[in-house]
Structure 1
Amino acid sequence: MSNRLQSKVVVVTGGTSGMGAAFAKRAASEGATVLIGARDRARGEATAAEIAREGGKALFVPTDVTVEEEVAHLVDVAVTEFGGLHGAFNNAGGGDSQGALRDIDTSFWNRVIALNLTSVFHSLTYEIPAIVASGGGSVVNNASVVGVVGDPAAAAYAAAKHGVVGLTRSTALEAAKDGVRVNALVTGLVNTPLWQGFTKSNPAAASALLDRQPTGRAADESEIAAFATFLLSDESPFITGAALAIDGGLTAGY
């Protein structure tokens, strides 16, 4: 493992399981000090402790990304405790995200948009100035394949993730002059605990999704973490404003 994030301070939202936890571990193994922002204290502290046992540096900061003040606090801890902020993986999202337009109401819509889009707005609002003040860096927002294609069974979620892609591109244009890169990951099927639970509870539906996957499999969490780490490193200085598919070719067929 290289040290390409050596001396960098990064935050990850939704960092207690799945892609977020995998990224936190990978970034720490590459030399970063990682601040894990999430709601689940027990899992957050366990993830930070696991990183410490492996010789890395991590701190869990209780954070509900739908609450602006808590996101601001997460960034403030990075700056005050560790001297700055150089990168972020805005990964938090999901929840009750499925539902065709005819089946959802305003409260459902607001909840999905808050968790999956407004949370990224909060994060960027506080991360970008801190990264600029630290001399520049990189932000990666976790979107989804439904950030670039439609899904008739996930109207609110698709709208939110399309919003993440648009917000990413606009913020990248705004922040480029200040030395901050901003990109989005267009992730497909990933072997997270959520996917594993879905395959057990809905095996036929999971099989149908895999049949549409050119590679015939879901990505491992470590594959997403490795790519996000690359984008946060100094090895990707000319990549910004991009919605980068890491989906096993799924969107290539649309």
Structure 2
Amino acid sequence: MLLKDKTIIITGASSGIGAAAAQIFAAEGARLVISARREDRLTDLAARIDQGAGRIAVLAGDVTAPGHAEALVTLAQDRFGGLDGAFNNAGQTGSGARVHEIADAEWQQLIATNLTAAFMAARAQVPALLARGGGALVFTGSFIGHTAVLPGMGSYAAAKAGLIGLVQALAVDYGPQRIRANALLPGGTLTEMAGDAATNPETGGFISGLHALKRMAEPAEIARAALFLLSDHASFITGSAMLADGGNSICKV
């Protein structure tokens, strides 16, 4: 029970990696506050996992909305007495436009979702972790913007590269107070964000071929890496950009 009686926030929890994390973290003993924009999916997920135990709280909303990060922390404190960690997982990829074609609105939206929302989450979560005597923060980054960039992903790459810098700053600022912060960098994962990679053999084959393992990840595989970083097994890991990319970063053929 790696997260026994720990209270964890998960954003982007309605599908993909976030939904897998909710199931795995709950099985490992966590009390959860889950969030995403699609309230119906959150409610269904919580009902399937919790089965009336009262260990999962749901708050739908947009991570870029003012006050949402604070509301998640308040819910954790009101329902479960405090906060021990967070998996700040929500993200967005963009249209695939090349840099000179990116509209202002798209740039601003991707920076807001993938970077500014992480800052707002950390700003709200850190005081609650300090009150608890420490804790752990995990942010979903990407190999994109760190070891490689695919065509048409300039805004996404810039945001995810900035996220690693934010994680390093959090690790340095709050390490003496026993708060750890890490970025988790998945490779290609079979989620809705991957588009038709799961159903189109040509697309799926191309993306799989970018990885040393010659396949894409299941969401649960990435969620288990987040579990490790949130758990005491990662007690001396902070400020890292941990690749869980199936060898994408080292594979050239």
Q: What CA distance in whole angstroms lies between the structure 1 residues aligned with 2:95 and 2:85?
A: 27
Determine the structure 2 residue equivalent to 1:182: 181
Q: Is residue 7 of structure 1 aligned with residue 5 of structure 2?
A: yes
Deviation for aligned residue 1:150: 2.6
- Distance of aligned partners of 1:108 and 1:193 in 2 relative to their CA distance in 1, 3 Å threshold: closer
Structure 2 counterpart of 1:87, one-letter code? G
Q: Is residue 192 of structure 1 aligned with residue 168 of structure 2?
A: no
Residue 94 of structure 2: SS of its match in structure 1?
A: coil
User: Which of residues 37, 40, 48 in structure 2 aligns to 1:39?
Assistant: 37
Q: What CA distance in whole angstroms lies between the structure 1 residues aligned with 2:77 and 2:111?
A: 28
- Distance of aligned partners of 1:194 and 1:54 in 2 relative to their CA distance in 1, 3 Å threshold: farther
Determine the structure 2 residue equivalent to 1:135: 133
Structure 2 counterpart of 1:76, one-letter code? T
Residue 64 of structure 2: SS of its match in structure 1?
A: coil
User: Which of residues 37, 45, 48 in structure 1 aligns to 2:46?
Assistant: 48
Deviation for aligned residue 1:53: 2.6
Q: Is residue 224 of structure 1 aligned with residue 222 of structure 2?
A: yes
Structure 1 counterpart of 2:167, one-letter code? T
2:94, 2:153 within 8 Å by CA — same for their partners in 1?
no
Q: What CA distance in whole angstroms lies between the structure 1 residues aligned with 2:246 and 2:197?
A: 19
2:190, 2:197 within 8 Å by CA — same for their partners in 1?
no
Determine the structure 1 residue equivalent to 2:169: 170
Q: What CA distance in whole angstroms lies between the structure 2 residues aligned with 1:56 and 1:153?
A: 43
- Distance of aligned partners of 1:243 and 1:97 in 2 relative to their CA distance in 1, 3 Å threshold: farther
Deviation for aligned residue 1:217: 0.5
Deviation for aligned residue 1:80: 1.8
TM-score of the superposition, structure 1-length normalised? 0.93
Q: What CA distance in whole angstroms lies between the structure 2 residues aligned with 1:224 and 1:97?
A: 24
- Distance of aligned partners of 1:153 and 1:143 in 2 relative to their CA distance in 1, 3 Å threshold: same
How many residues align? The count is 251
Task: Give the gaps of 5 or more residues in structure 1.
Answer: none
Q: What is the percentage of aligned positions where both structures have the same residue?
A: 37
Task: Give the gaps of 5 or more residues in structure 2.
Answer: none
Q: Is residue 119 of structure 1 aligned with residue 117 of structure 2?
A: yes
Moved more, 126-135 or 149-158: 149-158
Deviation for aligned residue 1:81: 1.8
User: Cα RMSD over matched residues?
Assistant: 1.7
Deviation for aligned residue 1:94: 1.4
